A = this chain, B = another copy of it.
Amino acid sequence: MDVEEVDGQPAARWSGAAMPAEAAAAIAAEDASQGPVSQAPVTAPFVAPLPLPQQIAAHLRDQIIHDVLKPGARIREQPLSAELKVSRTPLRDALKILMAERLVDLAPNRGAVVADPSIEELRDMLRVYSSLEALGAGLACERASPACIARIHRHQRDMLAAYERRDRLSYFRANQAFHLDIVAASRNAALIEMHGRLNIRLHRVRYLAIMAHQDWTFVSNQHEAILAALDARDGDLLGRLLVDHLSGAWRAVAMLEAAARPRAAE
């Protein structure tokens, strides 16, 4: 509830305007605070004071994507600034960052509310998401280093182990890392950024879909096929597999949303 808990991160040096990279790093750091996920944080012998608006944005983003701040909830500046012990100015900056990420909707004189995407918007986002991931996979087949591929294999093993332990949280983390690292292997900064953006916007529903799904069946065979295509450097096949795979994720999300949405869309 305090901003300090966010401050405890390894504090990867703020990379200029790298909002999505920062956000992706936030997910990696917070969701997988135990398992080694991706590249190690940069050297950082500096304490890296990490600008206040980014801290606040990271804090609120965490609350939103983990469903602590529910969709549709209003965010008032004055109470929050008092609670976080900061002034309204950096808080406003943080809200602007989250607005750019489309995690909050901001009406002119009516304040900010947590974004509540309709089921159609979620479907559209997932469509683009899978397309970007397919593109990334194609590029990864051309440019991925063996170390990257090995890391992706490791994520698959982590997923399997987590599934057998019925550890949904670790499963979710490994799944995230699996997909993010496939795109990261493309070495295309713009692609990684856009994919990361969508991943954040979809994070909450995907998280809830995994955590709440009744019959939780691991699509290990699909992931195995994906890995095989990656090993064979077959980009076209890999793209098709990923799109098919994500359509499965869509079904889970749609089921969740259909069940928990008696109200009219925002």
The residues of A with any CB-CB pair to B shorter than 8 Å are 14, 16-17, 19, 51, 89, 92-93, 96-97, 99-102, 104-108, 115, 121, 124-125, 127-128, 131-132, 135, 139, 188-191, 194, 197-198
Contact = CB atoms under 8 A, between A and B. Distances in A.
Contacts of A191: 124, 127-128
A121 B18 CA distance: 14
A99 B189 contact: no
Given A93-B96, A132-B131, A135-B128, A105 B17 contact: yes
Nearest to A110: B16
Contact of A131 (B14, B102, B135): B135
Nearest to A101: B100
A93 B106 CA distance: 13
Of A100, A125, A190, chain B has the most CB atoms within 10 Å of the CB of: A190
Contacts of A93: 92-93, 96
Nearest to A96: B96
A197 B104 CA distance: 18
Contacts of A14: 108
A92 B89 CA distance: 11
Given A96-B93, A132-B131, A194-B194, A105 B188 contact: no
Contact of A100 (B97, B128, B135, B194): B97
B16 A128 contact: no
A16 B125 contact: no
B190 A104 contact: no
Contact of A99 (B19, B102, B125, B194): B19
Nearest to A118: B189
Contacts of A132: 128, 131-132
A124 B190 CA distance: 6
Nearest to A192: B124
Nearest to A89: B89
